[in-house]
């Protein structure tokens, strides 16, 4: 018997014996809340879990043990790949690690019925805790929208700020919202310019709202401060900003100084998202609603709802949220979510080999984003079944896109166009946006397409390649032309690559009928140009047959050969349906979900499903559920910016 197995047999804790073996085998990469195997019965505890939770998890594995035939249990046979396992062999057969796992299985099989039942009731949800102040910096789009609604400024000044980083798929996540010296300088310069422009345009006194007087100064500070800080000013703040009026003899210049100072305040640049201050809670709720559903500041009506206490009750809050979804600003905010979720930026910034893809240019890329934007917006605002985002047999084309799709130009720009069944296009997966942003400059990338489906559409995390592993494939040659499927076969023979690429590449293989700009093709076309650029010899073209059979490991009955068939697989998969909720949660909450959020996610998902997958219903349900959870948000940011 091995030392590890002996330790288990001697009663050593699971956390010191078998659990480290599972961690070393990288079981967490799939068997986690955002892993490919998240829907299975085995889910590893959250990273950083305490010893009690790990021990409880170890006992809960009794659910995977056949007590009559313990050594035939899935817990033993799957990780050793003695029965088919999507992750392959994670624990080597006949090794000391397998012996330790077998000994633990024997211990679980020896449990009494009562012990086994109690162990199976283990859950890895962690208790929620009361939140302190949570302050979130305005994103660049929120900054521009806010100064538009606050000052009437239409120039979108945040376009000149340092670019924002994508974290967890979005640009508004807590950990990416640091205030760099360069950004602080941009805020300062923008505040000065914006305050000056208000009076330069001649509508400054309209913003002030009263005739110059001592009383007017106090009124302006109070009303402007309420709008800019999204809450009433306290007495000290009121006094501080009123004092700025004594520094200038001219009323307009004094008011300009107040505006400039307010725009540089942390209370303007950061929004209060959570607070334990009872008086401020309705205003924090108003900010959450407005920046989630409108992507801008609360308007006068919403601030009045906060002041009157309408947001304190579940019914009142839900009523306000639904009313806000009827406002045109909700459509603008949805566009921002869609642009980030579907990574419009990658398409706009992409380049293509001009010799291979002469139809592609910047105008084509912009048209691809516009088609996706209109497609999603129609499903949302017409209260359609949102899962048709994967199955709908139509798109929104202009002349540029029609050329790529091989269709006649529509009668008007971005007209709705039905796809012929033989095109095998459907939903987002059949649109040029997805097929382009997941490709390389000169060819498709089955791996990138599979990764996008896993991470963006199934909310499953795929680990980065091990350090030192080359991601480059051997180049094709005229003497040995190969399809992408043939070239990527090397991953199956490399143990360091196989486990992850088995989850990604088969998805991309099923989409190979569409090239790197989303045009339909029946064969892979390889073009070999003369090495001597001055040569007058014509390029040589080789066409290869395509094997487009694909599958989504972890989803039953998921074989497919086209975007339309894959769309049908995803539309009916609970993982994909719930991912819609998770992605919108991440966007509105500014962070990824934690174990503490799982009950909330499940509740909202059930509402979404029961509504016939109406996205608007999900939006309202999520905002209300977050507001009236039994306790407040468990993710706390307590430091003042």
- Quickly list DSSP for 583-622: HHHHHHHTS---GGGHHHHHHHHHHHHHTTS-HHHHHHHH
The pLDDT score that the predictor gives to residue 162 is 95
**pLDDT the model gives residue 641:** 33
Joined together, the tokens standing for residue 25 give: 């085998």
What residues contact residue 463 under an 8 Å CB cut-off, 6+ apart?
26, 29, 500
Task: Quick: pLDDT tens for 503-520.
Answer: 999 999 999 999 999 999
C-alpha dist (Å) from residue 307 to 238, 288, 301, 624, 626: 18, 15, 10, 18, 20
The full DSSP string for 54-93 is HHHHHHHGGGG--SSSGGG-HHHHTTTTSS--TT--SS-T
**Domain spans of the chain, in order of start:** 3-120, 134-280, 343-465+477-572
Whose tokens are 């211990």? That residue is 107
Structure tokens at 30: 């799939």
- pLDDT score, position 1: 46
CB 468 within 8 A of CB 494: no
- Read off the pLDDT of residues 279-338 as tens digits, 9 standing for 90 and up: 999 999 999 999 999 999 999 999 999 999 999 999 999 999 999 999 999 999 999 999
Residue 319 confidence (pLDDT): 96
State which H helix or E strand residue 567 sits in: helix 563-572
CA distance 507 to 454: 9
Backbone angles phi, psi at 554, to 5 degrees: 100, -10
Our CA angle for 445, 593, 282, nearest 5°, is 130
CA–CA separation, 32 vs 19, rounded Å?
14
CA pair distance 289, 319, nearest whole angstrom? 12
- CA distance linking residue 91 with residue 72, whole number of Å: 16
Would you call 536 exposed, middle or buried from its count of C-beta atoms within 10 A (0-12, 13-18, 19+)? exposed
pLDDT for the residue 341: 98
Q: Kindly give the parts of the chain with pLDDT less than 70.
A: 1-11, 120-133, 247-248, 466, 468-471, 495-496, 630-641
* Closest residue by Cα to residue 588 from 288, 166, 163: 288
Rounded alpha-carbon distances, angstroms, from residue 418 to 104, 278, 359, 397: 58, 53, 22, 10
Cβ pair 339, 295 in contact under 8 A: no
Report which DSSP code applies to 134.
Answer: E
Q: Which two tokens stand for residue 458?
A: 């199934």
| pTM for the predicted model, two decimal places | 0.88
Please give the pLDDT value at position 2. 53
With 0-12 / 13-18 / 19 or more C-beta atoms within 10 angstroms meaning exposed / middle / buried, residue 68 is exposed
Tell me the C-alpha distance between 168 and 593, whole Å: 10
pLDDT of residue 189: 97
Neighbour-count burial of 481, counting CB atoms closer than 10 A to its CB (0-12 exposed, 13-18 middle, 19+ buried): middle
Predicted local confidence at residue 610, as pLDDT: 98
The contacts found for 276-281 with CB under 8 angstroms, 24 or more apart, are: 276/130, 276/131, 276/132, 276/133, 280/231, 281/312
């Amino acid at each position: 018997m091995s030392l590890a197995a002996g330790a288990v047999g001697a009663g050593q804790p699971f956390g010191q014996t078998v659990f480290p073996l599972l961690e070393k085998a990288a079981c967490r990469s799939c068997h986690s809340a955002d892993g490919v195997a998240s829907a299975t019965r085995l889910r590893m505890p959250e990273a950083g879990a305490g010893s009690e939770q790990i021990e409880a998890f170890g006992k809960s594995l009794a659910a995977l043990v056949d007590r009559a035939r313990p050594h035939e249990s899935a817990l033993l046979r799957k990780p050793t790949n003695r029965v088919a396992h999507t992750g392959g062999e994670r624990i080597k057969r006949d090794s000391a690690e397998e012996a330790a796992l077998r000994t633990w299985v024997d211990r679980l099989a020896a449990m009494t019925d009562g012990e086994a039942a109690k162990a199976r009731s283990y859950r890895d949800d962690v208790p929620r805790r009361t939140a302190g102040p949570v302050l979130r910096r305005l994103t660049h789009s929120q900054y521009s929208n806010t100064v538009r609604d606050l000052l009437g400024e239409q120039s979108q000044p945040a376009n000149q700020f340092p670019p924002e980083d994508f974290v967890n798929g979005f640009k508004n996540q807590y950990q990416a919202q640091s205030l760099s010296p360069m950004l602080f300088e941009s805020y300062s310069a923008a505040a000065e310019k914006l305050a000056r422009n208000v009076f330069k345009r001649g509508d400054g006194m309209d913003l002030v709202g009263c005739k110059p007087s001592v009383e007017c100064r106090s009124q302006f500070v109070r009303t402007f401060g309420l709008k800019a800080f999204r809450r009433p000013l306290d007495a000290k703040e009121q006094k501080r900003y009123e004092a700025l009026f004594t520094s200038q003899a001219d009323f307009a210049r004094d008011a300009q100084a107040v505006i400039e100072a307010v725009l540089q305040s942390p209370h303007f640049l950061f929004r209060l998202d959570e607070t334990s201050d009872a008086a401020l809670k309705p205003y924090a709720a108003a900010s959450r609603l407005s920046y989630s559903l409108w992507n801008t500041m609360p308007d006068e009506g919403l601030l009045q709802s906060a002041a009157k206490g309408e947001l304190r009750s579940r019914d009142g809050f839900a009523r306000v949220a639904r009313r806000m979804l009827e406002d045109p600003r909700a459509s603008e905010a949805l566009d921002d979510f869609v642009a980030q979720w579907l990574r419009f930026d990658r398409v706009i910034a992409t380049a293509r080999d001009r010799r291979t893809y002469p139809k592609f240019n910047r105008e084509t890329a912009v048209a691809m984003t516009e088609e996706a934007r209109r497609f999603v917006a129609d499903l949302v605002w017409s209260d359609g079944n949102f899962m048709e985002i994967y199955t709908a047999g139509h798109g929104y084309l202009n002349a540029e896109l029609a050329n790529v799709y091989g269709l006649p130009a529509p009668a008007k720009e971005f007209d709705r166009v039905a796809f012929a069944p033989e095109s095998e296009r459907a939903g987002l997966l059949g649109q040029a946006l997805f097929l382009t942003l997941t490709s390389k400059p000169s060819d498709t990338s089955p791996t990138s397409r599979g990764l996008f489906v896993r991470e963006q559409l199934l909310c499953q995390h795929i680990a980065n390649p091990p350090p030192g592993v080359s991601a480059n494939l051997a180049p094709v040659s005229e003497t040995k032309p190969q399809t992408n499927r043939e070239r990527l076969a090397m991953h199956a023979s490399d143990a360091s690559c196989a486990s992850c690429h088995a989850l990604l590449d088969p998805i991309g293989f099923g989409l190979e009928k569409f090239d790197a700009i989303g045009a339909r093709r029946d064969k892979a076309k390889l073009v070999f140009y003369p090495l001597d650029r001055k040569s007058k010899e014509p390029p040589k073209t080789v066409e290869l047959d395509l094997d487009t059979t694909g599958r989504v490991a972890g989803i039953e009955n998921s074989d497919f050969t086209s975007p339309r068939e894959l769309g049908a697989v995803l539309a009916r998969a609970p993982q994909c349906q719930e991912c819609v909720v998770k992605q919108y949660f991440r966007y509105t909450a500014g962070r990824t979900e934690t174990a503490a959020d799982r009950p909330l996610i499940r509740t909202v998902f059930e509402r979404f499903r029961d509504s016939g997958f109406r996205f608007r219903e999900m939006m309202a349900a999520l905002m209300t559920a977050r507001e009236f959870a039994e306790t407040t948000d468990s993710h706390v940011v307590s430091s003042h910016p």
